[in-house]
Amino acid sequence: MDGVSRLTAAMLRGDFHTLGAHWDGEGVNFALFSANAERVDLCLFDPEGRVEIARHTLPDKTHDIWHGYLPGLAPGALYAYRVHGPYSPQAGHRFNHHKLLLDPYARLLQGAFRWHDAHFGYRRDDPGQDLSFDERDNAGYMPKCVVTAPVSTQGLAAAPARPSIPWHRTVLYETHVRGFTYRHPELPELARGTFAGLGHAEIIAYLKALGVTSIELLPVQAFVDEHFLYEKKLRNYWGYNTLGFFAPHSAYLSDRDVLEFRRMVDDFHAAGLEVILDVVYNHSGESNHLGPTLSFRGIDNASYYRLQAGKARYYVNDTGCGNTLNITHPRVLQLVMDSLRYWSGEMGVDGFRFDLATVLARDEHGFDSQAAFFHALGQDPQLARVKLIAEPWDIGPGGYQLGHFPAPWSEWNDNYRDTVRRFWRQEPGQLPTLARRLHGSSDIFEHAGRRPSASINYVTSHDGFTLRDLVSYRHRHNEANGEKNNDGHRENFSDNFGVEGPSDDPAVETARSRQQRNMLATLLVSQGVPMLLAGDELGRSQQGNNNAYCQDNEINWLDWERLGPEGAELRAFVSRLLWIRRQYPVLSHRHYIHQPAAAGEESIRWLNSDGREMRDEHWQEHHNFLLGYWLTGNDRASVLVVFNNGSEQEQFLLPSLTGAHNESWQCLLDSRFATGEPASPRVAAAQAVAIGERSVAIFSNDGGNGETRKP
């Protein structure tokens, strides 16, 4: 045992009901699921995590859960497992007790993961590859699990009330803990790139002033770099390679305190802002059959992963990441549910965005909208109250499932993204589809009785071009990723206005700036839930990289100090748009509204340039780029949005306001101007108004009270 003591007599049977390591004030109970293991050893380490100081065999197994209790052990203790069993890849078993394994339920990890060939369960230099067996110990290169005390016992101040923002009032802001804060000049240096930095008063004040309601964080659960990135000296920046579903990513903690995340959430809640987590329960960071043995693979490969029928050596790869978690297994489903309850309960999170969510509802027959995963969430008294967002696709057969998730789920709507991009790129024939997307994509969601909030509308996200790059590049420029520019989306529906990349031509820059404003305006007047990509409101560029998942550098970090007057103007434009969306509820209906409507009821109308209803033949005019989008509330308040994507200025006849106290329209925003503030705020009804080329104008009748509202 190389000096490691075996103290089995000191370990009691313990309890199997609660998985993980749990301190009860007098000792720690350990419980680990493995249906196929023959023995499980608990390894304890010194405070630095370098020396194994004791090893205990878990003394009992109940319902496939190995468990034991150590009296006297306290929070802060470091541990991991070694699991004994057959190494038989052809039969789906990959046990290797020479590999130190992380507890899937660990709440905190200490120490950095370091790549080494000892992590692989097989000899990489053997011609038989994973059919061989490797006896090297990887403990020196692994982080260690930390026993933590329950959050409720750690002296936190009383948690502020959760904002509980209704879906129809939600505005999402997708960002990255490290990239958003790492270069912020007003943050303490040690807080940059961490949860403490994200929860800093400067960041919260910025988000409040902008007008968003909910911050959506790229993965914050513990993750590792893929081996192929390590070999290229690159990093997994986005974090979609999870190793632990309970532990926060250690690099985002400024002081190795798991409560740092909870304090950040409390700070957001105190400011009335929600926190949504992007979570990855479709695969793990152990990759394919040639990947490392770090946790699930060595604990019970045949239970945790979906294996190919008749070829159990290989994994089902519906994720494109090498493996697929077996959510249909009751204990794996329990793992996911326990993890979600932990983050929403003890950590206070308000909702989740599920990466490749189609995987979670797959069985042997494919995607099922009535899958056990959906029912488990729906019946859970805690999780049924949080916001649930699906990325509604994977790469498996029948993987694209936009519109097929059950209520109350919302879904990333890439159809919305592509339609808005194609319309503003002046592709012919886009008006009918654009109208459907402005309407909240009722053609996709309403058939199942769902609401406009089922559609998460976005023009850009972490995956793809930033808004600035969308108007600056026709082609992707991903050379820095080391894949010869073959990765990332091939078709981006982008435009460069005649110059690929940065330009010093004032005409090009003017066109690009206006196009950014046009797409932002379209997004924020659409029915459904808008999502902004962090930095788009400041003109952030990724140098044309549309797949910057592995760039932990200036390509991804938001450089706050270099953003000049143009960034400030664009931010003011977005703030103005968000003010308009808050002030005029007709822009965010709870339910789908259709025409015609009786007098005094909510209505939506589509107008042509003469201010009259669009007729069938108008929708078929493929080179018509002018559209009026007129919304009326049951209080007679109206908002009229006019889109002109033509290359010439057009006249648009503002409709009359029969029955209103005020027979004029107030222009709230004009995208021709940098901050959106219009040159002529008040325009008479039933009069023609000039709508600039490639622009958006927003008008309101102020609910008939004749007052001019100002943001």
DSSP bridge partners of 387: 351
| CATH topology agreement for domains 20-147 and 593-700 | yes
**pLDDT one-digit tens code per residue, 542-578:** 999 999 999 999 999 999 987 778 889 999 999 999 9
Q: Which two tokens stand for residue 250?
A: 């250690």
Q: Tell me the C-alpha distance between 390 and 383, whole Å.
A: 15
Position 711 scores a pLDDT of 63
Q: What is the mean pLDDT of the chain?
A: 94
Kindly report which listed range (249-253, 308-312, 585-589, 681-685) carries the lowest average pLDDT score.
681-685
Distance, C-alpha 651 to centroid of its chain: 41
Position 594 scores a pLDDT of 87
Which residue spans within 439-533 are E strands per DSSP?
A: 455-457, 529-533
Q: Which residues neighbour 178 within 8 Å (Cβ) at sequence distance 6 or greater?
A: 193, 194, 237, 251, 252, 552, 557
Looking at residue 372, its amino acid is: A
Contact at 8 Å (CB) between 463 and 432?
no
Q: Which residues neighbour 413 within 8 Å (Cβ) at sequence distance 6 or greater?
A: 402, 437, 441, 444, 455, 456, 457, 458, 528
Distance, C-alpha 611 to centroid of its chain: 40
Q: Tell me the C-alpha distance between 98 and 83, whole Å.
A: 9
**pLDDT one-digit tens code per residue, 496-515:** 999 999 999 999 999 999 99
Position 596 scores a pLDDT of 63
Angle formed at CA 532 by CA 512 and CA 647, multiple of 5 degrees:
30
Q: Which two tokens stand for residue 603?
A: 């209505």
DSSP bridge partners of 248: 221
Nearest to 155 by CA among 238, 70, 246, 259: 259
Position 67 scores a pLDDT of 98
Q: Tell me the C-alpha distance between 74 and 86, whole Å.
A: 33
635: confidence class by pLDDT, cuts 50, 70, 90: low
**pLDDT one-digit tens code per residue, 114-165:** 999 999 999 999 988 999 999 999 999 999 999 999 887 777 888 899 999 9
Q: Tell me the C-alpha distance between 511 and 419, whole Å.
A: 20
Q: Tell me the C-alpha distance between 452 and 149, whole Å.
A: 42
Q: How many helices and strands in the chain, by DSSP H and E?
A: 15, 32
Give CATH for domain 168-282+327-585.
3.20.20.80
Position 595 scores a pLDDT of 73
Q: Say which DSSP state 480 is in.
A: G
**pLDDT one-digit tens code per residue, 67-82:** 999 999 999 999 999 9
289: left (phi over 0), alpha (psi -120 to 50) or beta: alpha
Does residue 484 or residue 563 have the better pLDDT? Answer: 484
| Choice among 52, 300, 350, 355 that is catalytic | 355
Nearest to 526 by CA among 597, 610, 596, 604: 604
Domain boundaries, the chain: 20-147, 168-282+327-585, 593-700
Contact at 8 Å (CB) between 632 and 638?
yes
- Asked if residue 4 has pLDDT above 70, the reply is no
- Asked if residue 410 has pLDDT above 90, the reply is yes
Does the annotation count 537 as an active-site position? no
**HSE value, Cβ hemisphere, 13 Å, CA-based, for 303:** 21
**pLDDT one-digit tens code per residue, 378-402:** 999 999 999 999 999 999 999 999 9
Q: Say which DSSP state 412 is in.
A: E
Contact at 8 Å (CB) between 451 and 439?
no
In what helix (H) or strand (E) does residue 353 lie, and over which residues does it extend?
A: strand 351-354
- Asked if residue 662 has pLDDT above 80, the reply is no
Mean pLDDT of all residues in 397-413: 97
Q: Which two tokens stand for residue 631?
A: 């919304």
Contact at 8 Å (CB) between 476 and 489?
yes
Mean pLDDT of all residues in 214-239: 98
Q: What count of residues does the chain have? A: 711
Angle formed at CA 537 by CA 535 and CA 543, multiple of 5 degrees:
50
DSSP codes, 573-622:
HHHHHHHHHHH-GGGG-SS---SS--TTS-EEEEE-TTSSBPPHHHHT-T
Q: Which residues neighbour 18 within 8 Å (Cβ) at sequence distance 6 or greater?
A: 29, 31
Does the annotation count 670 as an active-site position? no
Position 2 scores a pLDDT of 40
Which residue spans within 155-285 are E strands per DSSP?
A: 172-175, 214-217, 274-279
204: confidence class by pLDDT, cuts 50, 70, 90: very high
Q: What share of the chain is helix, strand, coil (3-state, %, to 5)?
A: 30, 20, 50
| Choice among 226, 286, 391, 469 that is catalytic | 391
DSSP bridge partners of 627: 643
Place of tokens 């090009």: 508
How many CB atoms lie under 10 A from the CB of residue 255?
10
Looking at residue 318, its amino acid is: D
Kindly report which listed range (40-49, 221-230, 513-522, 596-605) carries the lowest average pLDDT score.
596-605
What 3-state class would DSSP assign to 536? Answer: helix
Angle formed at CA 370 by CA 366 and CA 374, multiple of 5 degrees:
105
- Asked if residue 315 has pLDDT above 70, the reply is yes
CATH superfamily of 593-700: Golgi alpha-mannosidase II (2.60.40.1180)
Contact at 8 Å (CB) between 171 and 532?
yes
CATH superfamily of 20-147: Immunoglobulins (2.60.40.10)
Q: Which two tokens stand for residue 74?
A: 């306290």
**HSE value, Cβ hemisphere, 13 Å, CA-based, for 533:** 25
Q: Tell me the C-alpha distance between 673 and 662, whole Å.
A: 26
Looking at residue 310, its amino acid is: G
Q: Which residues neighbour 702 within 8 Å (Cβ) at sequence distance 6 or greater?
A: 637, 662, 666, 708, 709
Q: Which residues neighbour 561 within 8 Å (Cβ) at sequence distance 6 or greater?
A: 183, 185
Q: Tell me the C-alpha distance between 475 and 456, whole Å.
A: 26
Position 704 scores a pLDDT of 40
Looking at residue 607, its amino acid is: L
Question: Quick one: 471 exposed, middle or buried, by C-beta within 10 A (0-12, 13-18, 19+)?
Answer: buried
pTM reported for the whole predicted model: 0.96
How many CB atoms lie under 10 A from the CB of residue 199?
24
Kindly report which listed range (336-350, 475-489, 587-601) carries the lowest average pLDDT score.
587-601
Mean pLDDT of all residues in 266-295: 98
Position 679 scores a pLDDT of 81
Position 657 scores a pLDDT of 80
Q: Tell me the C-alpha distance between 538 and 564, whole Å.
A: 9
Contact at 8 Å (CB) between 389 and 409?
yes
